[in-house]
Structure 1
């Protein structure tokens, strides 16, 4: 029985709907959009490299130094909203450290099922990884990070045996899981599911908090959530840590909510960003 199973609807909404927990969400997202556009104007980058047939199966590329690592960032939005285009502002500190940064996009629910969304994202990661050499990055130094629903997708990547994609099993060197929603079953209890369209089968098949999604032994895992986020949401990360014996403590930047956590990712002076950069070193 999950810790949230006997919670009433009001408590579920308060803990698992980030826009309820952070009423200023709209302001943060508007700020993200502006900063992301400014980043794309200032940095050398390639937009909308296609990895599939769906119009959202694209990624942006910020080239790094020759032979440097590749850092793949996966955006959030509860599997049903947002895109890479609001998140370009997280790329600069990793690009400045020499990484080729890939900003991943994917199709959204309910146009596709969660399982189809997961499969598309894994295809996108494989597409970028296969081309790491041609992009100037080292194919042996590939790292992923994801925020919110993107953390769920990064956790899938951390557990995946990539030999089926004709890539090394140990493709992913590290995964940073930022304020992840790992158990989709709880999303079915929120009002947001009217937009996601999850059913019980899809939620159970894509529940990260099962042994099927245990990260591969070589993958370094870093977990973080906003220090001001509701306990129920933070516990998604602490439960992941306990279930999979992650040695690092969950980082909880003081005062950060679900959205401003990304400010700590984008700031090279912040402890969270520095921890992520250390994983790439």
Structure 2
């Protein structure tokens, strides 16, 4: 094994260890199984609009979770929505794994607090590159802003969150110049964000054990 310094004083084993979260949480499979066990109950407890397309590819879909019964849309275009704040969640999985359906349990925290929840699906690396993943997430945010009133949400109270790779994607959403993507998109489209355990320093990622899967380019 190569024990020469590879990145900021870390050798290969040390750098790999910093990015190997599954090794740090050996019970991770049981944790995710517990999340999955809640899925059917979540679908029964809340109003849902599942597999809504926000882009041209099959992977570009999102799920909307609302209180039951769902709030009515405003009577006429341009009327004040009085709608719910919206949290758009971007899932993790090192950009190459997981699916929006793995995160249905999040509705149990958001909906009773008065917020609508959007869970975004996106194409996974390496079937697409990271730039395309970011583009798809931006498209999901734009779709949510443009269609919020239709599901009782308030487009002027749109927030974004995500964990791990989704934390990185959350940061990318918050640094986006939105008017460049559409004349109808305000610069402050996102009112706040929460990036949980995000992977923000991508420079060492091509050097770690995950590179064989991710196939990132410098």
Shift of 1:4: 4.7
Q: Which residue of 2 aligns with 1:45?
A: 48
Instruction: Confirm or deny: 8 A CA contact 2:51 2:62 kept in the other structure.
Output: yes
Q: Which residue of 1 aligns with 2:26?
A: 23
Counterpart-to-counterpart distance in 1, 2:12 and 2:41: 40
Bigger Cα Rg: 2
Shift of 1:129: 1.2
The 5 Å alignment of 1:181-200 reads 181-200=199-218
Shift of 1:133: 1.1
Query: Is the counterpart of residue 57 in structure 1 residue 75 in structure 2?
Result: no
Q: Which residue of 1 aligns with 2:96?
A: 80
Counterpart-to-counterpart distance in 2, 1:191 and 1:38: 37
The 5 Å alignment of 1:195-210 reads 195-200=213-218
Which secondary structure does the structure 2 equivalent of 1:78 belong to? Answer: coil
Query: Is the counterpart of residue 10 in structure 1 residue 13 in structure 2?
Result: yes
Q: Which residue of 2 aligns with 1:262?
A: none
Counterpart-to-counterpart distance in 2, 1:195 and 1:34: 28
TM-score (norm. length: structure 2): 0.85
Instruction: Confirm or deny: 8 A CA contact 1:44 1:63 kept in the other structure.
Output: yes
More helix by proportion, 1 or 2?
1
Which consecutive unaligned segments of at least 5 residues does structure 2 have?
A: 1-5, 72-81
Runs of 4 or more off by more than 6 Å in structure 1? Answer: none
TM-score (norm. length: structure 1): 0.67
Which secondary structure does the structure 2 equivalent of 1:87 belong to? Answer: helix
Counterpart-to-counterpart distance in 1, 2:185 and 2:11: 45
Out of 84, 87, 95, the position equivalent to 1:71 is 87
How many residue pairs are counted as aligned between the two chains? Answer: 198
Query: Is the counterpart of residue 95 in structure 1 residue 111 in structure 2?
Result: yes
Out of 152, 174, 179, the position equivalent to 1:163 is 179
